[in-house]
Structure 1
């Protein structure tokens, strides 16, 4: 049953993406995985997708380790068993040390799992890394305690998922999301509450989408400032067409967009 629910989640994500054609052949092409190990030959100018176990003994110029969320990496079952948790930690080390030059570490604030949308908590493995060795996507230093779900008492929790975690802005006072990398790139603009105290963040409400309207100036955590060109749909399917200054026109699901009104 879990496999069927994951399949439904994948289909739903695919059909919700306005940039992909809603055809069976396009979906099958999206999910088809052909690795270099399957086809043979060298690894130059190709992407190899594999499990942590399969990566042992191999090295690549750039490595992407994804899904670094509690319950996914480490797995939920391993979080309750010290020996299994240590095995997960060892696999994380194996995967990370496959990189010769560039290592990218990423996690999702929310994702479809088992047929439903779930918020997530960043993996403890990221917090165990030295912040001196990491930079965020915006080129800022990595803060191990940043964006951690806090209880009322102030202590972070690795065992509970905050149902509104994915609604909060990415990053703390400096505003970056955490994605480890080992080299500098052009900074990506991020929304920062301190930089724009006059801004009013729009929290999505399935029953009320009238707070946003065409012509409004808004800011997005990734795409920067823009103007709303149109509002499409309503309720959980409501979308905003936004013309951003730096990246052009984007169509965003309001429940995930976290737009901040600035004008």
Structure 2
């Protein structure tokens, strides 16, 4: 369950993600599904937690693999949590948000004027939730989008 409308809900999702990770004693396997089936046969596209991108790359090992259906899927990612618990906690505290903040007004070359409603992630793993006039909310990666901050 995700909501971008409530910053407390975002922080709760982040907290639950890290609680789950730090509960592992020796090895942790992180996987996710591309879609799930709902009651009535409906299918829902699933995305991995935004906060997995905040994990330090040097603590992650693994690779993508193809499923039987031919779609790319993540293979189990082993991680020695007990040896890296303190390092992960410290790095999580040290991650700095980029200079984007909620309330900033921006100009996107395709979507036009917008206002940042949420900054998701930290450090170099930031995504922005931006409300664009007439288009609604979009999640934008500021590293790849040519956003211009307006005063």
Q: Calculate the TM-score normalised by the size of structure 1.
A: 0.25
Structure richer in strand, relative to its length = 2
Q: Calculate the TM-score normalised by the size of structure 2.
A: 0.42
